[in-house]
Structure 1
Amino acid sequence: MTNTELVQLRVRVIALENIVLALLADQPAETYDKVREMAEIISPREDATQHPLTIEAALHMNQFADRAARFGPIDDK
């Protein structure tokens, strides 16, 4: 990939992250629990190889749930 393509990919990922955050922010607390549960599922077991990308993905999922909870429902203005 060229540098320009990598930059475009990063911009798109940031946009998608913010869309997901906005969608999560309007959901009940049970939805955050499901996100955290999925993060736990993808986390490596104690006896398994600790893959750094999987660990980081689970961490990001938990951070997403935390950030969405802070935003709470978005008021229509």
Structure 2
Amino acid sequence: MNRLILPFVRIFRFYYDGFSSMSWWGKRVWIIIIIKLFLIFIVLKIFFFPDFLHRKYKTDKQKSEYVLEQLTKSK
């Protein structure tokens, strides 16, 4: 069991040591990057990519049939 956990602990320590010894400027840059990623993946998904299938169809079978129909439909 220890052999499985040890690599993850070493990776965590590597990043923890790197971020804790980072300069003030580097920490600010990472904060900006994290905020931008949050905006891209969370806010934009909520407002611009609504769950179309959930609103239109009730069951998983109906959803899968619709997706299959759209994928195999010839134009």
Name the TM-score class by shorter chain: 0.3 to 0.5
Q: Greater helix percent: which structure?
A: 2
Bigger Rg, which one: 2
Q: Larger relative CO (CA 8 A, sep 6+): 1 or 2?
A: 1
Q: TM-score, normalised by structure 2?
A: 0.42
Q: TM-score, normalised by structure 1?
A: 0.41
